[in-house]
Amino acid sequence: MNHFRTVVRSISYVRWYWLGNMGGITVIFLAYQLPGLVNREFFNLITGDAPTSFGLWTLVALIIAGGLGRLAGMIFIVTTNVPLGYRIAALLQKNMLGRIFQLPGASALEGSAGEAISRFRGDVDETRWFPLRVNDWIASIINGALSIAIMMWIDPYITLICLVPIMAVTGFVYVLRMRIAALRKAAREAAGNVTGFIGELFGAVQAVKVATAENSMIEHFATLNQQRSRTALRDRLFDQLMDSVFRNAVNISTALIMILAAQKMRSREFTVGDFALFVYYLPGLAEMTWMFGSTYARFKQLAVSFERMRKIMRGAPDEDLVAHGPIYLNDDAPPVPQPVRSAEDRLQRLEIRDLTFHHPDSGRGVEGVDLSIERGSFTVITGRIGSGKTTLLRALLGLLPKDRGGIHWNGESVADPASFFVPPRSAYTPQVPWLYSAALRENLLMGLSDDDVDLAAAIHAAVLEEDLEALDHGLDTMVGPKGVRLSGGQMQRVAAARMLARSPELFVFDDLSSALDVETEQTLWTRMFERRGTDAGQTCLVVSHRRPALRHADQIIVLKDGRVHARGDLNDLLQRDEEMQRLWRGDEEPDPASPPPSPGSFGGS
């Protein structure tokens, strides 16, 4: 879909607002004609240079009618501008976010989250007001065409001469169209770099502090802002230069009228009223050509924004960016679908065969993993740093697109793991959990009804009771962006409670206790195992190197360089496997003899 069709498609979504706005702006521009005609008749009346068709009071009535017309048009504009812009913005943002949710969760974005936000904000803002600019342009063409027709009827020669500077400016804009697009692209990319860096920085505050890299981060941030300032200044300066050229074209045309009309006015071929009308209409003609040039320039800039937003869509058809659908700006949002448990959801056996995934940038990942998990079992995946533990979980759950391999739930093939491995079948707590800037209760429920969740039991199992008592507002405490008001351990336990509240068939933990102190970790695992004791069907797949988890494991999978190195229970592995013995001693560092990351190595976190 080309950019023009994308604009048309977005306009069709708000067509009634757009048509109402078009009617309002057209009425305003047409009402603009009346003062020019009244000026001509008035000056002809008082100078007697030409016969007049209207009396003085008729002219006054026409002036009042023009003012009332502009007022009516303004009412239409005020009532349609904001709804139109916000509906287009909401549609674009909803479609981009929907596409992100369709993609594998761990690789949904090509860049950083902060850079993506710049597209959701800056590029959407660039797009949503463009239909209003189109309305201004169309109405200015109607007004300009009518003005030219009246001027040609009065004096074709002077009309054509005074239009030359204005038309020349239009050609000037066309010649510079590529420069316009290049400047806007550079400005948008520089803004994206700044927001992307901010997002990454706030997501790695602890790492920056540990590395004492605060000064270097500040210097890099200043450099990015300087680049953004330069590109934005060039873009804005070019806009202002073009605007100045358009505006000055009116002054040149006015001077030409004065020169050409001087002799004709002596012979009464061109009256003072005609001169007043020409001078009055010239700004409108300049506005028409300025609107043409400005709209064309904005369209070239809009093309940059469309391309940036389409990169968010990653492989989806172009028309999906502006696919029509409900947005619920003024209405209540539909209720969140509640998970419905069926007999088919009950887990008996989960089987993985030849599961393989390689990271595109490094070639590392997991290779040929086979795994069988029985109902009620506790399976631990362990291995050194970079052995592929997290990658294995993500590939299994559909958060990364597997290269090959089969996944079977109770013997039935799972075609789309990303949509299949959700509550009530499974729930997942990642190594670095994400919380939303909302109340703690909302982060736990995530749309579920209080009546359908045993929140107290989930909080108890996740060892959160004392933390809740320490919070000012308990479950109603706002956790801040990404849960910034909570410690790392609290965030992990909130994520665990969120998962436990859903009581899925399969619990998937990725290094759940990595940010916990020894005492809290011991309590957490104890309560988890007590929970398993009361629910024989609770099945767990856990990434961990901690001894409490390893001791309770029914089977342990040892990964090395992305492959299954060994499997068995703890006693068996400690007796026969050197790799397991190293992990039991707490040695998780990568083997220094291992080759560096390359397309031929299959490690990865």
| Tokens (6 digits) for 388 | 């592929």
Pair (471, 604) in one structural domain: no
Residue 511 lies in a domain: yes
Q: Is residue 328 part of a domain?
A: no
Q: Mind listing the pLDDT tens digit for each residue in 294-311?
A: 777 778 778 888 888 888
- pLDDT mean over 146-171: 82
* Model confidence, pTM: 0.73
CATH number for the domain spanning 121: value is: 1.20.1560.10
Q: Are residues 264 and 390 in the same domain?
A: no
Residue 420 maps to which CATH number?
Answer: 3.40.50.300
**Within-domain flag for 8:** yes
Query: What does the alpha-carbon distance between residue 592 and residue 286 come to, in Å, rounded to a whole number?
Result: 72
Residue 576: band (very low, low, confident or very high) from pLDDT cuts 50, 70, 90: very high
Find the Cα–Cα–Cα–Cα dihedral 208, 209, 215, 217, rounded to 10°: 20
- pLDDT bin (cut points 50, 70, 90) of residue 417 is very high
Q: Look up residue 546 and give its two tokens.
A: 């901690």
| Same domain as 215, residue 93 | yes
Cβ count near 322 (within 10 Å): 23
Same domain, 317 and 360: no
- Asked whether residue 113 is assigned to any structural domain, the reply reads yes
Establish if 334 belongs to a structural domain. Answer: no
- The pLDDT-based confidence of 324 (bands split at 50, 70, 90) is very high
338-341 long-range contacts, CB within 8 A, separation 24+ = 338/448, 338/449, 338/452, 339/422, 339/423, 339/424, 339/502, 340/424, 341/424
Residues 490 and 567 reside in one and the same domain? no
Task: Band the pLDDT of 601: cuts 50, 70, 90.
Answer: very low
Is the pLDDT score of 369 beyond 80?
A: yes
Q: With bands split at pLDDT 50, 70 and 90, how would you rate the model's confidence at 598?
A: very low
* pLDDT value at 128 more than 50: yes
Position 367 scores a pLDDT of 95
Highest mean pLDDT of the ranges 12-16, 37-41, 154-158, 247-251: 12-16
Same domain, 129 and 260: yes
266 and 369 share a domain?
A: no
* Whether residue 395 sits in one domain with residue 479: no
Instruction: Give the tens place of pLDDT for each residue, 69-88.
Output: 888 888 888 889 889 989 99
d(CA 432, CA 455): 22
Res 508: pLDDT: 95
Based on the domain organization, do 509 and 496 belong to the same domain?
no
* Averaged pLDDT, 591-600: 45
Torsion sign over Cα 312, 315, 321, 325: negative
- Residue 351 DSSP SS3: strand
pLDDT reported for residue 516: 79
Q: What is the pLDDT of residues 165-178, one digit of tens each?
A: 777 777 776 676 66
Tell me the pLDDT tens digit for each residue of 90-115: 999 999 999 988 888 877 787 777 77
- Mean pLDDT for the chain overall: 83
Mean pLDDT score, 572-582? 92
Q: Identify the pLDDT of residue 164.
A: 80
Tell whether 182 and 305 lie within a shared domain: yes
Question: How many whole angstroms separate alpha carbon 98 and alpha carbon 114?
Answer: 18
Q: What's the burial of 552, exposed, middle or buried (CB within 10 Å: 0-12/13-18/19+)?
A: middle
581 located within any domain: yes
Over residues 231-249, the mean pLDDT reads: 78
Strand order in the sheet with 412-413: 365-374, 349-358, 404-409, 412-413
| pLDDT for position 61 | 83
Query: 421 and 301: one domain?
Result: no
- Amino acid 449: pLDDT: 82
Q: Which of 308, 317, 327, 260 has the alpha carbon at shortest distance from 94?
A: 327
- Give the angle 331-332-334 at the CA atoms, nearest 5°: 120
The string of DSSP codes covering 439-483 is BHHHHHHTT--GGG--HHHHHHHTT-HHHHHHSTTGGG-B--GGG
Regarding whether 545 and 443 lie in a shared domain, the answer is no
Instruction: Compute the distance between CA of residue 109 and CA of residue 577 in angstroms, rounded to an integer.
Output: 39
pLDDT of 383-401, one tens digit each?
998 899 999 999 999 999 9
Determine the average pLDDT of the residues in 505-525: 84
Question: Measured between alpha carbons, how far is 19 from 79 in angstroms, rounded to an integer?
Answer: 12
> pLDDT class for 604, splitting at 50, 70, 90?
very low
**Nearest to 563, CA basis, from 527, 522, 604:** 604
Q: Please check the confidence at residue 467 and state whether its pLDDT lies above 80.
A: yes
Q: 381: buried, middle or exposed (CB in 10 Å: 19+, 13-18, 0-12)? A: buried
Report how many domains make up the chain: 3
Question: What residues make up the domain containing 459?
Answer: 433-503
Tokens found for residue 327: 């947005």
Supply the DSSP string of 514-530, one letter for each residue.
TTS-HHHHHHHHHHHHH
Q: Which of 26-30, 515-519, 593-597 has the lowest mean pLDDT?
A: 593-597
Number of Cβ within 10 Å of residue 361's Cβ equals 8
Contacts of 336 (CB under 8 A, 6+ apart): 447, 448
| Radius of gyration for the alpha carbons in the chain, expressed in angstroms and rounded | 34
For residues 475-494, give the mean pLDDT. 84
For residue 581, name the pLDDT band (cuts at 50, 70, 90): very high
Output the pLDDT for position 602.
Answer: 37
**Do the domain assignments include residue 43?**
yes
Among 58-62, 70-74, 290-294, where is mean pLDDT lowest? 290-294
Place of tokens 């038309």: 167
Q: What is the pLDDT of residue 536?
A: 54
Report the C-alpha gap between 520 and 493 in whole angstroms.
Answer: 10
Report yes or no on 338 lying in a domain.
no
Give just the sign of the alpha carbon dihedral 378, 420, 358, 193: negative
What dihedral do alpha carbons 157, 158, 160, 164 form, nearest 10°?
140
Are residues 318 and 6 in contact, defined by beta-carbon separation less than 8 angstroms? yes
